Homo-oligomer: A and B are copies of this chain.
Amino acid sequence: MKAEIISVGTELILGHVVNTNASYISRSMAEIGIDILYHSAVGDNEERISDSLHRALKRSDIIITTGGLGPTVDDITLAAIAKTINRKLVFNKAIAEKIKDYFRKKHIPFIKASFRQAYIPEGSLWLKNAVGTAPSLIIQCEDGQKFIVCLPGPPREVTTILENELIPYFKKHIKTQGLIKSRLIKLIGLSEVSVDSKIKDILKLERPTTVGIYTNPGEVHIKITAKAGNEKECGENIKKIEKVVRKRLSKFIYGVDNENLEGVVVDLLIKSKNTLGIAESCTGGLVTHRITNISGSSNCFKMGIVAYGNDAKIAHLGVSRALITRYGTVSKPVAIAMAKGIKKAANTKIGIGITGIAGPTGATKTKPVGLVHIALVSDKKKMSKKCFFLGKREDTKFLASQAALELIWMHLKK
């Protein structure tokens, strides 16, 4: 089953709204074995909607439209569809009743213009919309060989209709050949191209099981996607590839699927009965923010100090002025002193110190913007790392926070 999505709305084309519907629908369809091969978006323009639909009917079996089902004059998706497939728009009493009822339930006065939404292409199947008045429809055409699905624009309505109506309908009425499952393997400490060079062979795999690499700020993800007749088979095919990936890259893999680095770090801290204090300078609280995003982090995280100026580093982290004078604020000895300082102040087993130049100002001849020193001090160990990051202030902050979390992860894993 080949399928595609046509999103209708001038707000999309002007870039005022991000098209989150397309990715949500793609994900949901993949899970029930329907392959979305194209996304397209056009404005509220009858000719361009019709053009896109014509093309879609030539290459796809299922066409899902979103948007343009509202009660206002610029909502023209149904009119454009009706014209393209030569159907009349007819008044649907049940939908009209539902619209009236919606106003009644919300205790707001009925607006007659809303009846515009009760006109639908002849022969459409109406899908209930529990959260709005827009009629969602399935229109079979070309002797039942093709399906046009019309969904509203608001993401909340799309997700509700998909879950309650469309997915159950497809599961019942459409024979798909298998379904798609994915597994995300998350790595740190290795660049995209290095990961690529280690799994070159499996990147060339072709359907039904494929592997892709995705770069994210400070980490690389390997995605294994399998298409098979059922969930079990999908799972087995994924497992085979995952085993190969793990064999070659195990020491860089910190997590899978929805796990994130801060979550894995907090988990390791709690499991190893460790406690954490964080002293930040250039990252300005971001490491602490990421750690405290994790529910349960209060079981391991005790205190963070963001010491921007030298005075704060000296007074509250016990960094000596002589050390700063000798090596400079952005240096390995100061990062280590900060880690020691917070470890003591917070009375924790692990202390992290971060000092660097987030930019855009603050660089010196020998110390460029993006230079960051990170240190970890525990009862038994002292680790440090010197990094150079390229990019804007916020990028440097994020990448430095990522490197700091990586250091904790390296310290705790296995």
Which residues of chain A have a CB within 8 Å of any CB of chain B?
A: 7, 10-20, 22-28, 30, 36-44, 48, 52, 55, 70-74, 102, 105-108, 111, 113-114, 130-131, 154, 156, 180, 182, 191-194, 196-197, 200, 203-204, 210, 212-215, 217, 223, 225, 278, 280, 283-289, 291-293, 295-298, 301-309, 311-312, 315-316, 345-347, 358-361, 388, 390-391, 393-395, 397
Contact = CB atoms under 8 A, between A and B. Distances in A.
A11 B193 CA distance: 18
A191 B193 CA distance: 47
User: What is the copy number of this chain in the assembly?
Assistant: 2
12 contacts: A7-B39, A113-B197, A131-B395, A285-B287, A286-B292, A292-B358, A292-B397, A293-B393, A295-B359, A303-B308, A303-B309, A305-B305
Contact of A182 (B16, B288, B289): B16
A332 to B, nearest CB: 15
Nearest to A288: B285
A124 to B, nearest CB: 22
B18 A23 contact: yes
Given A193-B113, A285-B286, A298-B309, A19 B19 contact: yes
B106 A390 contact: yes
A396 to B, nearest CB: 11
A148 to B, nearest CB: 18
B48 A42 contact: no
Contact of A390 (B72, B74, B131): B131
A308 B284 contact: no
Nearest to A216: B154
Given A14-B26, A308-B292, A388-B105, A48 B38 contact: yes
Contacts of A38: 13, 40-42, 48, 52
B203 A74 contact: yes
Main secondary structure of the interface of A (DSSP, over half): mixed
B306 A304 contact: yes
Contacts of A286: 285, 289, 292
Give me the 5 closest cross-chain CB pairs, A-B, nearest first: A284-B292, A15-B26, A285-B288, A15-B27, A285-B285
Nearest to A215: B154
Given A10-B212, A18-B19, A345-B316, A391 B156 contact: yes
Given A48-B38, A196-B113, A204-B73, A16 B10 contact: no
A303 B314 CA distance: 12
Contacts of A23: 12, 15-19
A42 B37 contact: yes
A53 to B, nearest CB: 13
A24 B12 CA distance: 10
A107 B193 contact: no
A192 B71 contact: yes
A18 B216 CA distance: 14
A359 to B, nearest CB: 7
Most chain B CB neighbours (cut-off 10 Å) among A20, A114, A288, A397: A288
